C-alpha cells in the first residue's frame, strides 16, 4: 500500500481550504481540524477524487459529547438542541468528509484506543487489494477537553492528554511522487521474541515507540536498532499513531534513517506494528 501524501500536525490546522464558503463555521473544532487536514492532504497530492474513507478516533467528538451530557444532566427542559448529540457520533468526521467530497464508497470509523488507526490501515489495505486503482483517504483525529485531561491525569499520573489530526492519501499501486509504502501491519499479542523475528524479517533500521504511561518500560529490542520514542512529540491520545506515521513519512527519505521503519504501539500485552518503507 502506497502513501501518496501525508499531513501531520499537532492540533490547530490552518492554511487555505477548498471548503465551501462558510462550511467550517458550522463545524465543531474537531470536525474543522479534520476537514482542514484532509483538504491539505488532497491539495498536497493533487487528489481530486476519493473512493473510500477510513477513520480512527478513540474518544470521538468529545466537546459535543460533554456539551450534550451537560444538557441532559442539567435542569430539565423540553427543548434541547439536537446538534451536540448529532455531532457526538464517532463517525461524524468521516461522514462530513463524505458529504463534502461526495464520496459514496465505504466509510468506516474505528475506535480502539491506540489501535484504531492500525485497523484503519488494515481496512485501507483490504480495500486497495480488491480495488488497486482506487484512492483512499485515511485519517485519525482526537481532541482533549479539561475534563478528559483531569480524568487521565487522575488515572495515569504523569500523562498529559494530547490531541491532533493526521491525514493520508493512499493508493494500491505505485505512482510517481509517492512518499512511502506500508509493508506490514500487525495488531495482536506479540511476544518480545516474535517482535525480534518480525524486525529481522523486515530488516528494521529504526523503531518509533510509544507508551501510554509515561514511566512504562520500552520493549527489549536488539541493540542494532535505533529506537526513538515518538509520543513526546505527538502527545498521548488516540490519534498519536497517525501523527507518528506522518512524522515517519516526513523523515523516511532523510539520510538519518536507514532501511524500513517500524511504528510500535503497546497497550497492556497487545502490540500494534506498522512497517513503513521508502518508495
Partner 1 sequence: MGAICALGNDVDALTKSLVEGTRGIKPLEHLDLGFPELHFGEVALSNAELVQELKALLGEEFALPLSRTALLALFAALSATREALDENNTVVISASTVGGMDLSERLFADWKAGEMTQARYAAEHPVGSHTSFVADAIGCKAMHTTISTACSSSANAMILGAQLLRTGRAKRVLAGGSDALCKFTIEGFKALSAMDTTGVTKPFSNERNGMNLGEAAAYLVMECEADALEAGRKPLAFFAGGANRNDAHHQTATSPEGNGPYLAMRDALEIAGLKPDEVDHINAHGTGTDNNDITELAAMERLFRKVPQYTTTKALTGHTLAAAGALEAVISIICMREGIVPVGHATSAAITGHTAMPVAQTIRRPLRNVLSNSFGFGGNDTAIVLMGS
**Quick one: the chain helix, strand, coil %, rounded to 5?**
35, 25, 40
| Closer by beta carbon to partner 1, 160 or else 253 | 160
Dihedral sign for Cα 156, 159, 160, 166, please.
negative
Here's the x/- map for partner 1, 153-172, by CB under 8 A: it reads as -xx-----------------
Give the whole-angstrom CA distance, residue 105 versus residue 188. 28
- Letter string b/e over residues 242-272, b meaning 16 or more CB atoms within 10 A of that residue's CB: bbbbbbbbebbeeeebeebbbbbbbbeeebb
Is 123 near partner 1 (CB under 8 A)?
yes
How do beta strands 261-267 and 206-209 pair?
parallel
Q: Which is nearer to partner 1, 44 or 270 (by Cβ)? A: 270
Q: Are 245 and 276 in contact (CB under 8 A)?
A: yes
Q: Is 59 in the site for partner 1 (CB under 8 A)?
A: yes
For cell 464517532, what's the residue? 90
Instruction: Based on the shown chain and the rule CB under 8 A, indicate whether residue 68 belongs to the binding site for partner 1.
Output: yes
CA–CA distance from 234 to each of 34, 62, 145 (Å)? 16, 19, 17
Nearer to partner 1, 186 or 228 (CB): 186
Minimum gap (Å) between residue 127 Cβ and partner 1: 8
Binding residues among 70-109 for partner 1 as defined by CB under 8 A: 70-73, 80-82, 85-92, 94-96, 98-99, 101-109
Binding flags for partner 1, 179-208, as an x/- string (CB under 8 A):
--------xxx-------------------
Instruction: Name residue 140's beta-bridge partners.
Output: 56, 166
Considering the complex, what minimum distance in angstroms separates the CB of residue 95 from partner 1?
2
Interface positions with partner 1 (CB under 8 A): 53, 57-60, 68-73, 80-82, 85-92, 94-96, 98-99, 101-113, 115-116, 118-119, 122-123, 126, 129, 147, 150-152, 154-155, 187-189
Amino acid at each position: 500500500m502506497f502513501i501518496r501524501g501525508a499531513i501531520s500536525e499537532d492540533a490547530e490546522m490552518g492554511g487555505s481550504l477548498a471548503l465551501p464558503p462558510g462550511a467550517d463555521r458550522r463545524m465543531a473544532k474537531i470536525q474543522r481540524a479534520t476537514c482542514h487536514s484532509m483538504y491539505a492532504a488532497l491539495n498536497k497530492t493533487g487528489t481530486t477524487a476519493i473512493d473510500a474513507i477510513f477513520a480512527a478516533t478513540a474518544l470521538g467528538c468529545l466537546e459535543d459529547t460533554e456539551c450534550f451530557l451537560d444538557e441532559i444532566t442539567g435542569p430539565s427542559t423540553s427543548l434541547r438542541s439536537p446538534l451536540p448529540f448529532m455531532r457526538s457520533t464517532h463517525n461524524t468526521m468521516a461522514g462530513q468528509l463524505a458529504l463534502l467530497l461526495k464520496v459514496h464508497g465505504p466509510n468506516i470509523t474505528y475506535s480502539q484506543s491506540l489501535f484504531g488507526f492500525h485497523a484503519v490501515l488494515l481496512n485501507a489495505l483490504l480495500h486497495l487489494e480488491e480495488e488497486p486503482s482506487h484512492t483512499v483517504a485515511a485519517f485519525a483525529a482526537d481532541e482533549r477537553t479539561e475534563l478528559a485531561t483531569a480524568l487521565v491525569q487522575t488515572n495515569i499520573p504523569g500523562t498529559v492528554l494530547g490531541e491532533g489530526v493526521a491525514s493520508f492519501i493512499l493508493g494500491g499501486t505505485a505512482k510517481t511522487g509517492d512518499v512511502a509504502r506500508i509493508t506490514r501491519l500487525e495488531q495482536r499479542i506479540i511476544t518480545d521474541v516474535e517482535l525480534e523475528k518480525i524486525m529481522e524479517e523486515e530488516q528494521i533500521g529504526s523503531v518509533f515507540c510509544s507508551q501510554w504511561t509515561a514511566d512504562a518500560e520500552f520493549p527489549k529490542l536488539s541493540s542494532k536498532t535505533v529506537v526513538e520514542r515518538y509520543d513526546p512529540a505527538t502527545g498521548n491520545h488516540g490519534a498519536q499513531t497517525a501523527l507518528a506515521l506522518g512524522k515517519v513519512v516526513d523523515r523516511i527519505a532523510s539520510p538519518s534513517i536507514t532501511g524500513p521503519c517500524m511504528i510500535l504501539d503497546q497497550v497492556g500485552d497487545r502490540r500494534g506494528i506498522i512497517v513503513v518503507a521508502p518508495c
